[in-house]
Amino acid sequence: MIKLEYIVFMSTATVFSVEALIHFMIGKHKLILPNYTEAFQIVIAVIIFSSINALLSKYIFKKFKKRKLK
C-alpha cells in the first residue's frame, strides 16, 4: 500500500503542475509551453510546495488519528 504522504505528493504535484502551466499561458496571453529554464523553475517550485503539503498533511493526519484514539 502506498503511504499517505506519497499519494498527497503525487496528486498535489500533478494538480499544481497543470495549474502552473495554465497561469504561465495566461501570463503570456498565448497557448505556449515554457522554455527549458522556465519549465525547470516551475517544476522546482511545484516539487517544493508539494513536498511541504505532503509533510503537513501527514502531520495533520497523525494528530487527528491520535485524537480519535483518546
The per-residue pLDDT for range 36-60, each reduced to its tens digit, is 999 999 999 999 999 999 999 989 9
How many distinct structural domains can be found in the chain? Answer: 1
In the structure, what pLDDT confidence band is assigned to residue 61 with cuts at 50, 70 and 90? confident
Q: Is 3 part of a structural domain of the chain? A: no
Q: Is 48 part of a structural domain of the chain? A: yes
Q: Which residue has the cell 501570463?
A: 27
Q: Is 60 part of a structural domain of the chain? A: yes
What are the C-alpha distances in Å from 68 to residues 24, 40, 52, 61?
43, 42, 24, 11
- Helix H or strand E encompassing 44: helix 36-69
Q: Is 50 part of a structural domain of the chain? A: yes
Q: Is 2 part of a structural domain of the chain? A: no
